[in-house]
Amino acid sequence: MLAILAGKLDPSAGTASDRSEDALTDAVFGAIRYLPYRRVLGAVLVAVGVQVDPETLDRARVDLWPSYQVPQLPGMRVEPDVVVTVGTTVVVFEAKYTSPFSLYPADEPAGSEPLHQLAAQFAALRAVTAARGWPDPVVVAVTVGAIPPTADLERAERSVRQLVPDAGEGRFRWLPWHRIATCIDTADGLAPHERRLAGDALRFMESREVREVFQHLDLAAFEQVATAQRTAIGQLYPQLRLFFDSFTAVLQAERIDYSIPTSKGMQFAGVSTSVSRPSEWARASVGVAYWPGRWPKRLGTWSKAPSILAFFDFYDPAFEVSLTIPSPNVVVAMANWQLHAARLAHELTTLHGYDVVVDSPDPTGPRLQIAAAQVHSAWLIDAFSRLSGTSRLRLRRRMRLDALTVQTARDLLLDLCEAAEKCPTLWTMTTASGQTERPVPTG
């Protein structure tokens, strides 16, 4: 609720990663805001080395996403996730889930190294506490896992020397999410309704995989994955290789080839090396990217160039083909695509049996989807506003696996090509965003 009131969960407010981070902050610190301060908030403060008088703690304030001016950086404001005020003690919590800490450009007098987010927040709150004659604030980095963000804390210390040269030592602390979960879980003497609120917060933390650190392996789950991998390597993947070999051959007869003919590689959605995105470690799909020879030349890097993806979806089993247009970034999409939304919507509504989707390679991530025949310009403009990071705009069609043959897959992909050619505005847009060379001929 607090995240919505603060505008944090508005689809247009930041990236999907930002919104999931704000939802976690809201669920956890929003609960702490209403749980007995002596039992929960006090334990959290002790966990970061801040001791306060219990009676003063009863009158504490917990503010989510307040806004402050940074005096040393004219015109700049910061918005810490949580500010706790207990008497004259001020503790700032900057919570991270998957996104990194921000860096801000430094003015020449402050030095050339970008300023760390934690240091900017310290400077802003220090102006407040100094004006009241209070001690300097403490700034806490809240992160996932058991490894402290040492590099960020060290950079914050360097940055704060540029902004507030007389700042004391030990102003920056670290608190992992799972320690906060322990403070909530071990709080005693909670009333039934308070225990339910605490339980809701803990379940949300568990759903985001931040409640616990490693204790032991789930051996049954491990064996299931191991068995699946053996089956995939020994039986399924060789079959898929034979399928794509034959499938590509029949497409080449239609002048449709690998999207990068010199690099005949497979596409594996969901395979990520990010330590903070375990949901993307799984091989969610396997397929090939194609591009018709009669279509406009693709521009830019391969990761930003459009393609036709034909793949087997392991997460939601099916065979799928899609015209996939990677995000050119929100600013470019809104600047170059928004004016074409009405015309594209009109073209898409002539297509039947297709979906328009905005998603990312992470199968558990947010997805915006609508039948092509139901698309309208407002929906498209909203979709364009979500095109950040690894998100992409897709026109797709799916087939049941028991109906799959090389011929039915060929027909599915050729039908997709024909459908895309009925939407020339797509190419006007990708040309405007620098992703294709010119619109595809329609005559």
| pLDDT per residue as tens digits for the range 152-176 | 999 999 999 999 998 888 899 999 9
- Give me the chain's average pLDDT, please: 89
- 75-79 LR contacts (CB < 8 Å, sep 24+): 76/104, 76/120, 77/124, 78/117, 78/120, 78/121, 78/124
What is the reported pLDDT for 300? 80
* Mean of pLDDT values over 85-100: 95
**Which residue type occupies 38?**
R
What is the reported pLDDT for 108? 56
The β-bridge partners of 310 are 288, 321
With pLDDT > 90 as the criterion, what percentage of the chain qualifies? 71
What is the reported pLDDT for 381? 95
Residue 49, pLDDT > 80, answer yes
| Segments of 67-128 assigned E as strands | 68-69, 77-78, 82-86, 89-95, 103-104, 115-116
What is the reported pLDDT for 3? 55
What is the reported pLDDT for 63? 97
What is the reported pLDDT for 355? 97
Determine the length of the chain.
Answer: 443
115-116 vs 77-78, strand pairing mode: unpaired
Q: Which domains does the chain have, with CATH numbers?
A: 16-208 (no CATH), 219-433 (3.30.930)
Tokens of 80: 């810490």
DSSP character for 436?
Answer: B
Residue 12, pLDDT > 60, answer no
First CA to last CA distance, the chain:
53
The β-bridge partners of 78 are 68
Q: At 7, is the pLDDT very low, low, confident or very high (cuts 50, 70, 90)?
A: low
H-state helical runs in 83-116: none
